[in-house]
């Protein structure tokens, strides 16, 4: 009996180490007990076997619950990402919204300062958009905005950001770009938009050619971001004053103008 008690302890120790090892040890022990052991010992093994089966059932239930919980957590995570994306996306054009622009400009300015890399901001405006809206209606105006947004999105790459800044105005943040390079990118976008035609789907009628104007400014390390936006906006208004369908860089900084005088 003492030997059997020791055997029981050995079997129970297996339960603390590995479930499969415990099942095997219990099966072996059950085989030993069935040969000439007392009814009391056989009853003990039967209880241990039953308890093992009960624990396995409970483990299976817990495992299933954990799997279900994992699935629910994954669904919640996906839903949260979707909500976050929607909160940063313009509903009409599906590019970034103003909130996205403000956040990404701040982040990218910090990265540019840290990594000593260039950063440029372009502000685009659809030329004579109000007149187009008045002449052809808001649904066609929405089509124009979607076309411009799509063109902008197709024209950038990598970490660059496109956002609807407000109304018919769009912003493009170019990571790692110098001013001259950004102006070239902007001019390419302007040319692409000008080649596209606005067609009324119901009739196939070609309505108009759409053009854009843009102002480009380069980030000056450490400057307030509202100054960068203001310089880009000023360049945009100069482009409009010069006849539209034009991309212009920011005016030279006062110190550069002074340097050229010598």
**Average confidence score pLDDT of the chain:** 82
Tokens for 73, please give them: 């957590």
Nearest CA-CA partner of 165 in 211, 215, 128, 109: 215
pLDDT of 172 over the 70 cut: yes
The two beta strands, 169-175 and 119-126, are: antiparallel
pTM beyond 0.85: the answer is no
What own/partner pairs with CB < 8 Å and gap ≥ 24 does 143-150 have? 143/198, 144/168, 144/198, 144/210, 145/92, 145/93, 146/92, 146/93, 146/94, 147/193, 147/196, 147/198, 147/210, 148/93, 148/124, 148/193, 148/210, 148/212, 149/90, 149/93, 149/94, 149/95, 150/93
Residue 249's pLDDT is: 97
Rounded Cα gap, residues 208 and 199, in angstroms = 8
Rounded Cα gap, residues 141 and 130, in angstroms = 9
pLDDT of 165 over the 80 cut: yes
Question: End-to-end distance of the chain based on CA atoms, in angstroms?
Answer: 110
Residue 59's pLDDT is: 76
Rounded Cα gap, residues 189 and 208, in angstroms = 18
Q: Which residues pair with 156 in a beta bridge?
A: none
Rounded Cα gap, residues 240 and 236, in angstroms = 6
Topology classification of domain 98-260: Alpha-Beta Plaits (3.30.70)
- Chain segment 29-55, per-residue pLDDT in tens: 666 655 555 666 666 666 766 777 677
Q: Which residue has the tokens 């479930």?
A: 19
- Chain segment 108-154, per-residue pLDDT in tens: 999 999 999 999 999 999 999 999 999 989 999 999 999 999 999 99
**Where are the domains positioned within the chain?**
2-70, 98-260
The two beta strands, 169-175 and 161-166, are: antiparallel
**Helical spans, DSSP H, in the chain:** 2-15, 19-33, 39-87, 98-115, 129-136, 138-155, 179-195, 225-241, 254-260
CB 214 within 8 A of CB 231: no
Q: How confident is the model at residue 258 (pLDDT cuts 50, 70, 90)?
A: very low
User: Looking at 81, 168, 206, 223, which residue is catalytic?
Assistant: 168
CB 186 within 8 A of CB 236: no
**Helical spans, DSSP H, in 88-202:** 98-115, 129-136, 138-155, 179-195
Is 168 labeled as catalytic in the residue annotation? yes
Residue 236's pLDDT is: 97
């Amino acid at each position: 009996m003492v030997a059997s008690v020791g055997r029981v302890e050995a079997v129970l120790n297996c339960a603390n180490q590995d479930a499969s090892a415990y099942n095997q040890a219990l099966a072996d022990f059950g085989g030993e007990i069935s040969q000439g052991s007392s009814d009391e010992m056989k009853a003990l093994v039967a209880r241990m076997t039953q308890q093992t089966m009960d624990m396995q059932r409970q483990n299976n239930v817990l495992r299933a619950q954990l799997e279900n919980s994992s699935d629910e957590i994954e669904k919640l995570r996906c839903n949260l990402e979707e909500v976050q994306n929607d909160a940063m996306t313009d509903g009409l054009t599906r590019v970034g919204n103003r909130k996205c622009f403000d956040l990404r400009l701040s982040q990218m300015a910090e990265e540019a300062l840290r990594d000593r890399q260039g950063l440029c901001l372009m502000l685009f405006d659809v030329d004579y958009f109000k007149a187009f809206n008045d002449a052809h209606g808001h649904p066609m105006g929405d089509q124009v905005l979607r076309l411009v947004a799509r063109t902008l999105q197709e024209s950038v790459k990598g970490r660059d950001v496109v956002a609807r800044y407000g109304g018919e105005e769009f912003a493009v943040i170019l990571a790692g770009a110098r001013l001259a390079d950004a102006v070239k990118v902007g001019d390419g976008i302007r040319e692409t938009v000008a080649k596209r035609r606005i067609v009324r789907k119901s009739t196939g009628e070609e309505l108009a050619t759409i053009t854009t104007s843009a102002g480009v400014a380069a980030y000056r390390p450490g400057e307030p971001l509202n100054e960068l936006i203001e310089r880009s906006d000023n360049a945009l208004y100069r482009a409009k004053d010069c006849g539209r369908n034009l991309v212009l860089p920011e005016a030279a900084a006062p110190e550069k103008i002074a340097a050229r005088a010598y």
